[in-house]
Structure 1
């Protein structure tokens, strides 16, 4: 896997962690922001031909 693909998958993982933290904190605004970041990260990864589910980085 190249560096770009690894960086995109790392972004998806970080976005998922951020969403989990926001949900745990019960912060509705942060949840909305984190959901948007996750959607964007997954969309970008898929645009570059990455299957986030097959890579073990599912979206939800």
Structure 2
């Protein structure tokens, strides 16, 4: 599960970065898309027992 856990954490990190960038750009559409991706990434991690650090 090590590889899966690392990939899940990386997906969460990428989604958080995309959300921050979209918010910084004040892009409502990209913010919504990135928010959905983050929610999905966190759900997949949680459902598979992958612990991720809390977001900023």
5+ residue gaps, structure 2, are none
Q: Deviations over 1:3-57 (max 9, x none)?
A: 01000000000000000000000000000000000000000000110122xxx2x
Alignment of 1:40-59 (within 5 A): 40-52=40-52, 56=53, 58-59=54-55
Relative to the length of structure 1, the TM-score reads 0.86
The list of structure 1 runs, each at least 4 consecutive aligned residues, that deviate by more than 3 angstroms after superposition, is none
Q: Distance in 1 between matches of 2:24 and 2:55?
A: 17
Task: Say if 2:11 is the partner of 1:11.
Answer: yes
5+ residue gaps, structure 1, are none
Name the one with the larger helix percent.
2
RMSD: 1.3
